[in-house]
Amino acid sequence: TLITSALTAQPEANYDETKVPKFSVPDPLVTFGGEAITDSQQWEEKRKLEIYQFFEKQIYGKVPALLDEYSFKVIEQDNNALGGKAQRKQIAVGIKKNNRSLNFNILLYLPIGNENAPVFLGYNFHGNHTVTDDPNVIITEAWNENNEDLKIRNNKATEASRGVRMNRWAIDKMLDKGYGIATVYYGEIDPDKNDFSDGLHSLFYEEGQTKPKTNEWGSIAAWAYGLSRAMDYLENDTNISNVIVFGHSRLGKAALWAGATDLRFAGVIGNDSGCGGAALSKRKFGETIGQINTSFPHWFSESFKKYSNKEEMLPVDQHELLALIAPRPLYVASAVEDEWADPKGEFLSAQYATKVYELYDKKGISSTDVQEVNHPIKQTLAYHMRSGKHDVTDYDWDQYIAWAETFAK
């Protein structure tokens, strides 16, 4: 134990602005070779791909191969759900690779009265049945992290946890405004533990392989991939106009990477996504790469570990992840008490990504904008810092819905 703790001990988290190291963020509009980018065409041809490939190989990790088979089946439907407000569908998706298979369920509510609804798609942390008290939502069988407050015990969800996370999903508000909501339990894609023997990764192994290769995907990239597989169904549902991908915290990191990898997402929301999400790594404020790679060694590609406590060596920073989503609508959100996720680093990141949006004549966070509590800046690239803690609240959803009305409908 002495040896392990010596190897994994991390410098204490810094919360002092005066101790943020002097750093310069890489300019999204200068190539690794030093060439200046002046328009969107040059960005697409010369810069976007090299940034994308860096994030793909050195940060989240590559998807190793194509699938062998994809199928879906609507296993349950009710056209009079939630007191007549919604149509509910539960869709079982099956994917196959190397004769191994994985299944996950999408819970979808579509508003009655809007035959062509925009939909928010986001993962939940403990099962589809936790986001609503609707008694007909199927309880996940997948491994679940224990949580006494949420009544998840013995790594299994039961009836006891139905509706325990309703507070994070403003489903009524969405439906009232004509939006649908689709959610998947992230543990059905890849259980969130440092174990690569199960989940999505294991389908792709060659004979004798037990974990992804050095530049291949960690769990965040696997979750992002799962969002795309949910999209494969959603884009073919004729009652859906477009899909805005959403995620909170670790699932916000996954949503941002999904937005960067899959152009079909019409909008992207990263709620309190923090380190490895929207927050700049080079500030080393709150959670750092060293911290995250130690606490969650399975989240990123193995190749990302070389940047643990060496953030200054990175030729990119997270504002360039945001820039990969341009010119599509993107909302970055923080909470003022969520210092672990570095709200200032998230704000600056949105500000530094803005010049790429401007190449497409889209607005974001300008250099004169200031970060103020509960003063959302709603442009194509939007930002707010809510009062309160690391969470998803009605305040957040009120902003996302109002923003989507203008930018992502």
User: Pick from 261, 276, 406: which is nearest to 331 by CA?
Assistant: 406
Q: How far is the C-alpha of 126 from the C-alpha of 156, rounded, in Å?
A: 9
Q: CB nearer to ligand GTR: give 255 or 359.
A: 255
Q: Which of 47, 126, 165, 250 touches ligand GTR (CB under 6 A)?
A: 250
Q: Which of 249, 318, 351, 354 touches ligand GTR (CB under 6 A)?
A: 249
Q: How far is the C-alpha of 338 from the C-alpha of 318, rounded, in Å?
A: 18
Task: Tell me if 348 contacts ligand GTR by CB under 6 A.
Answer: no
In the complex, least distance from residue 143 CB atom to ligand GTR, rounded to whole angstroms: 17
Q: CB nearer to ligand GTR: give 37 or 251.
A: 251
Q: Which of 51, 275, 356, 377 touches ligand GTR (CB under 6 A)?
A: 275
Compute CA 111 distance to the chain's CA centroid, rounded to the nearest angstrom: 24
Q: Which of 180, 274, 290, 376 touches ligand GTR (CB under 6 A)?
A: 274
Q: Which of 40, 228, 241, 390 is catalytic?
A: 390
Task: Tell me if 122 contacts ligand GTR by CB under 6 A.
Answer: no
Q: 199-222 b/e with 16+ CB inside 10 Å = b?
A: bbbbbbbeeeeeebeeebbbbbbb
Q: Which residue's structure tokens are 């798609």?
A: 121
- The residue sitting closest to ligand GTR, measured at its beta carbon, is 249
The token pair that represents 10 in the structure block: 């991390």
Q: Which of 249, 281, 334, 349 is catalytic?
A: 249
In the complex, least distance from residue 408 CB atom to ligand GTR, rounded to whole angstroms: 24
Of 279-308, which residues contact ligand GTR (CB under 6 A)?
Answer: 287, 292, 295
In the complex, least distance from residue 289 CB atom to ligand GTR, rounded to whole angstroms: 11
Look up 129 and say whether it is catalytic: no
How many residues would you count in the chain? 409
Strands (E), 63-177: 69-81, 86-97, 100-111, 117-124
Task: Tell me if 144 contacts ligand GTR by CB under 6 A.
Answer: no
Look up 390 and say whether it is catalytic: yes
Q: Tell me if 359 sits within 8 A of 309, measured CB to CB.
A: no
Distance set, CA 141 to CA 92, 126, 133, 191 (Å): 13, 11, 18, 12
Task: Tell me if 192 contacts ligand GTR by CB under 6 A.
Answer: no
Q: Which residue's structure tokens are 């939940």?
A: 124
In the complex, least distance from residue 295 CB atom to ligand GTR, rounded to whole angstroms: 6
Binding interface with ligand GTR (CB under 6 A) = 249-250, 274-275, 287, 292, 295
